[in-house]
Amino acid sequence: MSSATHPPVTQYDLKLALPLAGLFALFFIAPLVLLIIVSFYTDTSMTRFGLDQYARFLLDPFSLGVLGSTLWLGVKVTALCFILGFPLAWIYVRAPRWAQGILMLVVVLPLLTSVVVRTFSWIVILGRQGIINNTLLGLGLIDAPLRLLYTEGGVVWALAQVQMPLMVLPLITALSRIEPNLEDASAALGAGAWRTFFRVTLPLSLPGIIAGCLLTFAASITAFITQSLVGGGRMLFMPMYLYQQSSTLNNWPFAAAISVIFLIAVLGAVTLFNFLGRLARGTAEA
């Protein structure tokens, strides 16, 4: 058998992707197209086309405020996940093998429980008679229970815990790929621990950071369950806004327009992250 008659083994026939492509076309692209069409109707009974729904959203400071606060929520959760997740990933990579098994279980454990269960446990923790308030009251640090549930701070903490694996797993992958000798070399050349961290470890782990941030950001701004259970009925983020318009008010065109605008905003954020990622790879390789 000569290799000339066979295609190289690393090249697969694109036709193999057809079933998946078909599935995507049927269940993802088609509904998306429908959604976009619906968003261009001007009235709830869907008879006339126009840009009214987009104008209604984009010219309204309140709606823009909801979009802004949703994206800002994502930034806060992502930052918190990064600050808490990076040391965890760092410890994991340097831990002995047996400890790695335990740490991995701890990291992955949240993924094995339903998000509803995890969110409910946060209600128990943050409530008026929750663990935090009872502890603080018991220690005499506060006189009356603090309002933790139904506050934006509560939502940020709960989301950070719920989405943590999405940040830590890519970080672990990136950190464990870094050649340990590079850090030794940096130390041998006279750099201190912090300098080594900022000049060697951090730049080399940037692809993992970008991937982690991207996943955490996208997951936390769309997390309808956690946002509504911990945030309550007063805190309005895009998923709840969308739900309210479609489900309570049956205003599908406006709901569809909200979805499309949200989708574009998220795509924008993803593109920005990717761009940063490419920049970072440039710096890391330079």
Partner 1 sequence: MLNRRQMLTTTLALGAMHLFPGISMGQARRLVFATFTGSWEEAHRDVLVPAFRKATNNAEMALDPMLSVDQIAKVTAARANPPIDVMLHDPGPALVAIGQDLAAPYPVAQSAHYKDLISDAQDPMGPAPFFQVVGITYNPEKVKTPPTSWADIWKPEFKGRVGITNLNSTLGTGFLVEIARMKGGSEANVDAGFKAIEDLKPNLGAVAANPGQLATLYQQGQVDIGPGNFNAIQILKARGVPVEFVAPKEGAIAFKTTIHIVKNSPNPELAFKLIEASLSPEVQSKLMDSPYLIVPTNTKVKMGGEIAKVLAKDHDEMKKKFVFQDWKKINEQRSGWIEKFNRDIKI
Give the residues lining the site for partner 1 (CB under 8 A): 45, 62, 123-124, 127-130, 144, 147, 149-150, 228-229, 231-234, 236, 240-241, 243-244, 246-251
The letter for the amino acid at 136 is L
Residue 224 structure tokens? 């309808």
The nearer residue to partner 1, 48 or 195, going by C-beta atoms, is: 48
Nearer to partner 1, 74 or 231 (CB): 231
Buried b / exposed e along 65-98 (16+ C-beta atoms within 10 A)? ebbeebbebbebbbebbbeebbebbbebbeeeee
Cβ burial, residue 56 (10 Å; 0-12/13-18/19+):
middle
Q: How far is the CB of 16 from partner 1 (least distance, A)?
A: 18
User: Rounded CA gap, 271 and 221, in Å?
Assistant: 16
Q: CB of residue 55 vs partner 1: minimum separation in angstroms?
A: 16
Place of tokens 């479609």: 246
Smaller CB distance to partner 1: residue 65 or 180? 65
- Alpha-carbon Rg for the chain, nearest whole angstrom, is 24
Question: Least distance to partner 1 from the beta carbon of 164, Å?
Answer: 24
Q: Tokens for 248?
A: 């309570």
Q: By C-beta, is 248 or 283 nearer to partner 1? A: 248
In the complex, least distance from residue 129 CB atom to partner 1, rounded to whole angstroms: 4
Nearest approach in angstroms of CB 140 to partner 1 is 20
| Closer by beta carbon to partner 1, 17 or else 34 | 34
Residue in this structure with the two tokens 């269940």, named with its chain if needed: 27
Question: How many Å separate Cα 193 from the centre of its chain?
Answer: 31
CA nearest to 175, candidates 97, 93, 99, 106: 93
Q: Which is nearer to partner 1, 90 or 243 (CB)?
A: 243
Tell me the closest approach of the beta carbon of residue 121 to partner 1, in angstroms: 11
